[in-house]
Amino acid sequence: MHAPKTAVEAAEAALAAPAEQVPWYRRFTLGKNHYNSTELAGAFGDLGTLIPFVIGYIAVMKVDPLGILFMFGLSEVVVGLYYKTPIPVQPMKAIGGAAIASGGAVSAGMICGAGLFTGLFWFLAGTTRTVNLATKLAAKPIVRGIVLGLGLLFVTEGIKMMLVTPWLGGLGLVVTFLLLAHPKFPAMFALLILGAVAAYVLDPAQARHVLSMRPDFRVPQFTFARMSWGDFVAGSLVLAIPQLPLTIGNAVIAIRAENNELFPDRPVSDRMIAISQGVMNLVSAPFGGIPLCHGAGGMAGHVRFGARTGGSLVMLGAIMMALALFFSSSVGLLFQIFPRAVLGVILFFAGLELAITTKDIGSKKEDVYVMLVVAGFAMWNMGVAFLAGAVLYQALERGWLKV
């Protein structure tokens, strides 16, 4: 019998082992979800995309971290319990990037409006099955191109973050490669320890301040009343609508394909993903949450570092909710001092895990050509990549073009 070739195969082999061969601390399950050290390590596999956006919202836009973290955590718990696979919950990147880069021109009310519009759009797209009209155009080479482009984007962004502190990024790469090859100790735990030690070495004063944090219990407030009709319209037009093409490519088509390939026993549909994104945002926005989605890159990060069930999301969500309720006044500092170089290592490996899933594209030249064209555009704009891929694929299939 051959040895497992991928991270998923290795984990499935371990889970299939007789109970007496599995350490007691890795046996706790509830339904199809596992709650153990490996799942907990995998829970942190998406920090490379989560922390930079949360820091931006808190430090640049002065959004209260209580609503952000609590609603994010609650969404993680519900998604993990429902899907039972590590389908991620992530900040919507186009909305977050535009809001943070606005220099204060985007208000908290506009963020709420963008979240409500996004939630309503995807809820209706899923319940009316409108989402299926767009995804029917998503042939395999187009999906693989979106995934490849996103994976390469994560790799390049991860390298940029590692170069902020090159020695730390290089050390993180070496440690991760070694532990992933000999996974007796989860690589993510090693990276978290490395990040904590490096944070203390690089900025001891701030690290000591974080260690002196004391609980300060607060509960989320209903912020819907602070949003005006103008905020809703502006948030919809300026932030939410430009996000839609990115979401259909990355957070609907790609995540469905990735989940169903990695976990065929727990399949999802485009309609399910659209509805859950809609519900998340409709519930989150009125309580100070930020626009959320299910990004394919997040699943790659969770899986690369050990997650195989929704238990990883449930545990991460519980941690986020606890931070929100008891440490929201100072959690922004905690996120700020965590070294960007270590986050870059996490993002780098998430990108590799995502890109490697395209290996099944086959040898048909036309399919490879479409995949590469879509990947190139996807590193710039997911919506344009999807449209370009659909047009090129149909032109090649109908013989209008030759490559």
pLDDT digits (tens), the chain, 403 positions: 444 445 455 445 544 444 445 554 455 777 789 999 889 999 999 888 888 888 888 877 888 899 999 999 999 999 999 999 999 999 988 888 888 777 677 888 899 999 999 999 999 999 999 988 877 777 888 888 888 988 898 899 999 999 999 999 999 999 999 998 877 788 999 999 999 999 999 989 888 888 788 888 888 888 776 788 999 999 898 888 878 877 888 889 889 988 998 999 999 999 999 999 999 999 999 999 999 999 888 898 999 898 999 999 999 999 999 999 998 877 878 888 889 999 999 999 988 988 888 888 888 899 999 999 999 988 887 778 888 888 999 999 888 988 8
pLDDT the model gives residue 245: 76
Specify if 384 maps to a domain. Answer: no
How far apart (Å, rounded) are the C-alpha atoms in residues 54 and 60? 10
Q: Total structural domains in the chain?
A: 1
Does any domain span residue 366?
no
Q: Is 292 helix (H, G, I), strand (E, B) or coil?
A: strand
Residues facing residue 177 across a β-bridge: none
User: How many Cα atoms are found within 13 Å in the side-chain-facing hemisphere of 65?
Assistant: 27
Q: Of all helices (H) and strands (E), which one includes residue 293?
A: strand 292-293
- Burial tier of 266 (Cβ tally within 10 Å: 0-12, 13-18, 19+): middle
pLDDT for position 221: 82
The CA-atom distances, in angstroms, between 121 and each of 67, 126, 136, 231 are 22, 9, 19, 17
For 262, half-sphere exposure in the C-beta direction (CA atoms, 13 angstrom radius) is 30
CA distance 116 to 105: 19
- Return the C-alpha torsion angle 378, 379, 382, 386, nearest 10: -10
| Residue 8: per-residue pLDDT | 52
Q: Residue 18 has what pLDDT?
A: 46
Q: Which helix (H) or strand (E) holds 282?
A: helix 270-284
Does residue 8 lie within any of the structural domains? Answer: no
259 part of a folded domain: yes
Q: Residue 237 carries which DSSP code?
A: I
What is the extent of the structural domain holding 119? 29-360
Alpha helical stretches, state H, 108-139: 108-127, 131-135
- The contacts of residue 79 (CB under 8 Å, 6+ apart) are 87, 89, 276, 280, 294, 310, 313
In a domain, 178, yes or no: yes
Contacts of 97 (CB under 8 A, 6+ apart): none
In this predicted structure, what is the pLDDT of residue 116? Answer: 95
Q: Is residue 12, in this structure, part of any structural domain at all?
A: no
Residue 22 makes CB contacts below 8 A (sequence gap 6+) with: 14
Residue 371 resides in a domain = no
Give the C-alpha separation, 398 to 246, whole Å. 27
Residue count (the chain): 403
Q: Is residue 158 part of a domain?
A: yes
Partnered with residue 260 across adjacent β-strands are: none
The pTM for the full model equals 0.82
- Amino acid residing at 38: T
Asked whether 153 and 134 are in contact (CB, 8 A), the reply is: no
Q: Is 92 helix (H, G, I), strand (E, B) or coil?
A: coil
